[in-house]
């Protein structure tokens, strides 16, 4: 049986939504903050995993960074290749790199797809890809950011697709189970996702087990993380 993330990112309506994110107004500002958070300088090697369509990777490359993107969805990789990016198709738990990068970035809540062992393998794979002293940036929700604002229902429009969400937080598993209903020109598609949301201490413990140290917990404005912050931007050093 396919995992939810193997199914969802192959859905035509969801691909239309994600392809539309290229024009997000905050993309350049987000990349500014990535550069600042990681102390990136031209010529440094950066791994963006998962890279999706290359929205972030393309902007990092435009700043003189040597960027490689990894994703599992071929449609998104085609878009990244068309933008001139160097990309590979791979499971983010099974990266082929060893001691090659100055930084690895994992953006837009792409951590927590698996069970704890799988999340640990994702972190270990990122750690192996880094040179000694390299840093890993995870942009995600944690319990400290999610629970104060958690809502069971929501919706948004993305490139002609209306997306409805019904969410349940399951305390026993620490996961958010979401039913996504995608509506486009009379088409209706429903997909479930299941994402583990860690507390900050749980996440740093997991990353420590993977080989990281030196953690810095900020929000997505690069201010110190606090209860109710919009997002967690966690950096960890190999």
Average pLDDT over residues 79-87: 97
Task: With a cut of 80, say whether residue 25 has pLDDT above it.
Answer: no
Whether the Cβ atoms of residue 83 and residue 172 lie closer than 8 Å to each other: no
CB count in 10 Å sphere of residue 164: 15
Tens-digit pLDDT profile for residues 131-150: 999 999 999 999 999 999 99
pLDDT at residue 64 in the model: 98
Nearest residue to 47 via CA among 105, 97, 99: 105
Radius of gyration over every alpha carbon of the chain, rounded to an integer in angstroms: 17
Q: How far is CA 137 from CA 13, 53, 193, 217, 229, in A?
A: 29, 19, 23, 10, 17
The mean pLDDT of 146-158, rounded to a whole number, is: 95
Domain 4-142+199-237: assigned CATH number = 3.40.50.150
pLDDT of residue 101: 98
Residue 1 has what pLDDT? 74
Domain locations along the chain? 4-142+199-237, 146-194
Q: What is the pLDDT of residue 21?
A: 84
pLDDT of res. 49: 98
Token pair, residue 139, equals 């942009």
* C-alpha triplet 171, 156, 198: angle, nearest 5°: 25
Burial annotation 200-221 (CB, 10 A radius, 16+ → b, else e): beebbebbeebbbeeeebbbbe
pTM above 0.75, yes or no: yes
Alpha carbon 197 to chain centroid, angstroms? 13
Evaluate if residue 20 carries a pLDDT over 90.
Answer: no
């Amino acid at each position: 049986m396919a995992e939810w993330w193997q199914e969802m990112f192959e859905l035509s309506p969801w691909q239309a939504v994600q392809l539309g994110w290229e024009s997000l107004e905050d993309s350049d500002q987000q990349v500014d903050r990535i550069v600042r958070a990681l102390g990136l300088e031209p010529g440094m090697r950066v791994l963006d995993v998962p890279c999706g369509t290359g929205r972030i990777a393309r902007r990092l490359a435009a700043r003189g960074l040597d960027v490689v993107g990894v994703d599992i969805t071929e449609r998104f990789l085609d878009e990244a290749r068309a933008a001139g990016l160097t990309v590979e198709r791979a499971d983010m738990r099974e990266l082929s790199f060893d001691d090659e990068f100055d930084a690895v970035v994992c953006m837009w809540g792409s951590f927590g797809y698996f069970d704890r062992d799988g999340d640990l393998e994702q972190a270990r794979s990122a750690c192996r890809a880094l040179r000694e002293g390299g840093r890993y940036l995870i942009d995600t929700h944690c319990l400290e950011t999610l629970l104060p604002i958690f809502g069971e229902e929501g919706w948004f429009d993305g490139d002609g697709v209306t997306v409805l969400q019904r969410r349940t937080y399951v305390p026993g598993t620490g996961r958010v189970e979401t039913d996504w209903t995608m509506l486009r020109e009379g088409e209706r598609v429903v997909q479930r996702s299941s994402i583990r949301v860690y507390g900050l201490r749980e996440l740093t413990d997991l990353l420590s087990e993977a080989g990281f140290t030196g953690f810095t917990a900020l929000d997505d404005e690069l201010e110190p993380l606090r209860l109710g912050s919009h997002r967690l931007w966690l950096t960890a050093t190999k």
